Amino acid sequence: MSNDTSRLSIELTINGESRTVRIRPQDRLLDLLRESLGLVGTKEGCGEGECGACTVLMDGLPVNSCLVPAFQARGRTIETVESFDSEKLIHFLRSGMTQCGACTPGVVVTANWIRANPELADSFSLRELMAGNLCRCTGYDGIIDGLSDSMNEDRGGSCCKS
């Protein structure tokens, strides 16, 4: 039986908006997003930090929301897949980065983080940077091609591979 007196109130910023949310002590950030706020774009895959389906940005860095206790999000800034401009996904769709779609929200969050921090690609390959997001369908080529095309266009280059 739920006991509302055991709930805690925390304040945080979600997708640019200040929110106060009541959480249970055992809630994960993933539960806060999906159940308390209805932001169901963030998916649960493995639930144990292996697949990356639940990736969101916390203070600008990708985290597995299934591993973050909800109370640790207090005072933080969270960005979910819902915060990203769908127009910016066109290269991913063209490249065939999604099939069943289970991994797609997490892939989009990580890919947009890389696009916002393109200097990361000076030190790591795109495959290394995307290694925390597992995909059982695409073989990763479409994901990497879409990210590469997007970054090329961000740099003012032409898009895309014919």
CA distances from 153 to 90, 145, 147, 157 (A): 11, 12, 10, 5
Nearer to ligand FES, 57 or 123 (CB): 57
**Binding of ligand FES by 98 (CB under 6 A):** yes
- Closer to ligand FES at the Cβ: 101 or 118? 101
**47's tokens:** 């639930």
Structure tokens at 34: 């999906």
**Residues 29, 102, 130, 151: which binds ligand FES (CB under 6 A)?**
102
Burial of 162 (0-12, 13-18, 19+ CB in 10 A): exposed
Contacts with ligand FES, 19-48, as mask; x by CB under 6 A: -------------------------xxxx-
CA 64, CA 47: separation in Å to the nearest integer? 9
Residue 13 backbone phi and psi in degrees, to 5: -110, 120
Rounded (10°) CA dihedral 144, 61, 79, 26? 120
Residue from 10, 103, 108, 111 binding ligand FES (CB under 6 A) = 103
Q: Give the 3-state secondary structure of residue 58.
A: strand
Subset of 104-143 contacting ligand FES (CB under 6 A): 135-138
In angstroms, give the least distance from the CB of 123 to ligand FES.
24
Is 70 near ligand FES (CB under 6 A)? no
Q: What is the DSSP letter of 103?
A: S
| Binding footprint of ligand FES, residue count (CB under 6 A) | 22
> Among the candidate windows 8-16, 76-84, 100-108, 123-131, which touches ligand FES by CB under 6 A?
100-108
Residue 99 interacting with ligand FES (CB under 6 A): yes
Contacts to ligand FES by CB under 6 A: 44-47, 49-54, 64, 66, 98-103, 135-138
